[in-house]
Homo-oligomer: A and B are copies of this chain.
């Protein structure tokens, strides 16, 4: 069965900036979803900021294997309640792929616990993403590096926790470097951050970039049980694997819920 994938787009600059409107006339989210749907293993649809619940209802997330996130100028407009919901679903096992300026999105900072800050420069300079992990499933079908003629520069330090794996490191024309493809596991959720994708450049039409998006979607799908526990369940003495007799004094009455 195909991997149910939702491409979430902020969908603002496509309507307010003439360059972006020209570059992505159907919205960036549709350009990305088109790339994914070239692979028969993936079934991608889209959601945007402007939809009710940002297009991410409980029911829809419950039926999503992988969520892809592109946002930039409107991170603050994403409702906290929806961020809570996405976080819970990622911990349960939904894959999460965060693109480019999504490094400052609420959901990415929430999952990682750090500022996710970096340096930047918008000069349309050349970026080469070196494949530092050529056997990684996310790098399937690529050469030694991906070359993009025009991209925004992101420079280290990238303020994130040490990743599980580094798949790409970028070198920019101006001299800076950046860890451009990073994996994390949080709960059961596989998380991938992929750097390129400034909205004024044709990055999401690049064949290598599209290949990475497809590879990452297949990689991010969870293959275990979807599972989350938030509430700190009590195990009463009579249910302990070894017999336990209550000793000492306590706070809680039998059957009482824990504090949270």
- By a beta-carbon cutoff of 8 Å, the part of chain A in contact with chain B is 13, 17, 19-20, 72-73, 75, 87, 91-93, 101, 104, 110-115, 117-125, 128, 130-140, 145, 150, 153, 155-159, 161-166, 169-171, 173-177, 179, 184-188, 198-201, 219, 222-237, 240-242, 244-252, 258-260
A162 CB to closest chain B CB (Å) equals 6
Task: Return chain B residues, CB-CB under 8 Å to A258.
Answer: 120
Pair A119/B233 contact, Cβ less than 8 Å? yes
Pair A241/B114 contact, Cβ less than 8 Å? no
Contact of A72 among B93, B118, B120, B259 (CB under 8 A): B259
- Docked pose: A112 CA to B155 CA in angstroms: 24
Task: Return chain B residues, CB-CB under 8 Å to A173.
Answer: 242, 244
- Docked pose: A159 CA to B245 CA in angstroms: 27
Pair A187/B159 contact, Cβ less than 8 Å? yes
A sample of 9 cross-chain residue pairs with beta-carbon separation below 8 angstroms, ordered by A number, consists of A19-B251, A73-B259, A93-B135, A112-B113, A115-B187, A134-B157, A139-B225, A170-B177, A200-B251
Contact of A120 among B101, B114, B134, B235 (CB under 8 A): B235
Closest to A156 in B: B132
Task: Return chain B residues, CB-CB under 8 Å to A174.
Answer: 235, 237, 240-242, 244
- Docked pose: A230 CA to B118 CA in angstroms: 8
* Contact A135/B104 with A155-B235, A166-B162 known, Cβ cut-off 8 Å: no
Pair A250/B104 contact, Cβ less than 8 Å? no
Task: Return chain B residues, CB-CB under 8 Å to A199.
Answer: 251
